[in-house]
């Protein structure tokens, strides 16, 4: 009897199962009414009196071991079932997590920042809710200038001295009020105008302002800086063209075109046959603006420029409707993949 118990004990201990069904088979073989343990209990009747205590104890231990082993194995297969690995091919690659992509305006802004940082420009920030001084007056904008019109600018009704900034040129004033030359900085950010939304206009958009003030800064510096930028942004073959213009805060002022990045200057429907597309406004900072900002215009001069980020992005990615940048439809956004 003892030998049979020991043999069954080692059989139980050594048992390994390959499936839930295999465990169940084993349970029937060992613990069911006709199982080996039950059989041993039946035979217990025949054990002589003096051995009963010892054998009885062994039998009980055997039964407990059998129960423990079987419930342990059952649990193991059931918890596997919860993870539902059965019937699955675990060698297949895992489903990838959908990683978002950067917004095209962020890509372009980052690239602009990166290009200018290579030639020593820092990045500065300013408030989007701005006072009249920083948005208009310090920038030499007369009181009757059309840009100040309610039709163009969002005023804060409780305080008409405050506006949603209409241009990042306001950051120029903050920078100049807070530091002395040499100043070499760009200021990207959101601006607002009271415009009806269409494919070509929006009540909010983004600009990057540039400002360079030092001793003896000339128009040649302006031209060279913008040529460098244009080539880095649109390709080495890019040409620039400066046309006389007017801005209240620059004297002289210009508008800058680049050779059309699509037809390389030959003329296409994007440049409307001109071979050139306008990308920014620029000029030499008006001495009155320097004086407004407590920078001595007899010692220092500088240039400034301002461009629309949407405009650059539209040219770079051939987007023909401004609204796409603000609707944030993932079918549009997921087409822009880049490391920056």
**Which residues contact residue 105 at a Cβ distance below 8 angstroms, ignoring those fewer than 6 apart?**
206, 309, 310, 313, 325
Scanning the chain, the segments in alpha helix (DSSP H) are: 2-14, 20-31, 36-43, 49-82, 104-118, 132-135, 169-178, 219-234, 287-292, 309-317, 324-327, 330-333
Residue 187, interface with ligand DAH (CB under 6 A)?
no
Task: Provide the sign of the torsion angle of the four alpha carbons 168, 313, 224, 247, taken in this order.
Answer: negative
Nearer to ligand DAH, 209 or 257 (CB): 209
Query: Considering all CA atoms of the chain, what is the largest pairwise distance in Å, rounded to the nearest integer?
Result: 123
Residue showing tokens 């539209």 = 314
Q: Are 299 and 215 in contact (CB under 8 A)?
A: yes
Q: Beta partners for 241?
A: 257
Strand partners, 131: 162
Sole window of 84-92, 111-119, 234-242, 276-284 interacting with ligand DAH (rule: CB under 6 A)? 276-284
Q: Does 230 bind ligand DAH (CB under 6 A)?
A: no
- Position 212 contacts ligand DAH (CB under 6 A): no
| Binding flags for ligand DAH, 298-337, as an x/- string (CB under 6 A) | ------xxx-------------------------------
- 247 part of the interface to ligand DAH, by CB under 6 A: yes
Per rule CB under 6 A, is residue 283 in the interface with ligand DAH?
A: yes
282 makes contact with ligand DAH (CB under 6 A): yes
Q: Under rule CB under 6 A, which residues in 71-100 are in contact with ligand DAH?
A: none
> Judged by CB, which is closer to ligand DAH: 256, or 324?
256
Q: Which of 140, 187, 230, 250 binds ligand DAH (CB under 6 A)?
A: 250
Q: How many CB atoms lie within 10 A of CB 329?
A: 10
Cα separation, 228 vs 224, whole angstroms: 6
Q: Which residue lies nearer to ligand DAH by CB, 70 or 186?
A: 186
Smallest gap from Cβ 306 to ligand DAH, in A, equals 2
Q: Which of 130, 209, 286, 310 binds ligand DAH (CB under 6 A)?
A: 209
Q: Which one, 131 or 209, has the nearer CB to ligand DAH? A: 209
Question: Near ligand DAH by CB under 6 A, which window of 24-32, 84-92, 106-114, 279-287?
Answer: 279-287
- Asked if 171 is part of the footprint of ligand DAH (rule: CB under 6 A), the reply reads no
C-beta separation of 210 from 305 below 8 A = yes
Q: What angle do CA 109, 112, 115 make, to 5 degrees?
A: 150
Total residue length of the chain: 340
Number of chain residues interacting with ligand DAH (CB under 6 A): 11
Burial of residue 291 (CB within 10 Å: 0-12, 13-18, 19+) is middle
Q: Interacting stretch for ligand DAH, rule CB under 6 A, among 58-66, 78-86, 103-111, 280-288?
A: 280-288
Binding residue for ligand DAH, selected from 281, 313, 315, 322, defined by CB under 6 A? 281
Residues that bind ligand DAH (CB under 6 A): 167, 169, 209, 247, 250, 281-283, 304-306
């Amino acid at each position: 009897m003892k030998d049979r118990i020991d043999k069954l004990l080692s059989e139980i201990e050594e048992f390994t199962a390959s499936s839930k069904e295999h465990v169940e088979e084993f349970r029937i073989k060992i613990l069911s009414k006709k199982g080996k343990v039950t059989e041993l209990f039946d035979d217990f009747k025949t054990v002589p009196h003096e051995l009963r205590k010892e054998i009885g104890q062994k039998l009980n231990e055997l039964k407990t071991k059998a129960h423990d082993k079987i419930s342990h194995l059952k649990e193991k297969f059931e918890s596997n079932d919860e993870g539902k690995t059965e019937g699955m091919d675990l060698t297949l690659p895992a489903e990838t997590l959908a990683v978002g992509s950067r917004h095209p305006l962020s890509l372009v802004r980052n690239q602009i920042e990166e290009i200018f940082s290579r030639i020593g420009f820092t990045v500065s920030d300013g408030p989007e809710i701005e006072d009249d001084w920083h948005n208009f007056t310090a920038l030499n904008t007369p009181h009757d200038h059309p840009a100040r019109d309610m039709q163009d600018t969002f005023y804060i009704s409780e305080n008409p001295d405050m506006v949603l900034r209409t241009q990042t040129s306001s950051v120029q004033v903050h920078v100049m009020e807070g530091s002395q030359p040499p100043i070499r900085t760009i200021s990207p950010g959101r601006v607002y105008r009271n415009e009806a939304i269409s494919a070509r206009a929006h009540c909010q958009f983004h600009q990057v302002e540039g400002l360079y003030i030092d001793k003896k800064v000339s128009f040649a510096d302006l031209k060279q800086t913008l040529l460098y930028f244009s080539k880095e942004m649109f390709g080495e073959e890019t040409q620039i063209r400066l046309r006389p213009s007017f801005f209240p805060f620059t004297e002289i002022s210009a508008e800058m075109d680049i050779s059309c990045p699509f037809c390389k200057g030959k003329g296409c429907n994007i440049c409307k046959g001109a071979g050139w597309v306008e990308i920014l406004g620029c000029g030499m900072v008006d001495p009155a603006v320097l004086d407004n900002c407590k920078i001595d215009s007899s010692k220092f001069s500088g240039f400034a420029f301002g461009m629309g980020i949407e405009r650059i992005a539209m040219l770079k990615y051939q987007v023909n409707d401004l609204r796409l940048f603000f609707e944030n439809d993932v079918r549009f956004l997921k087409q822009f993949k880049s490391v920056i």
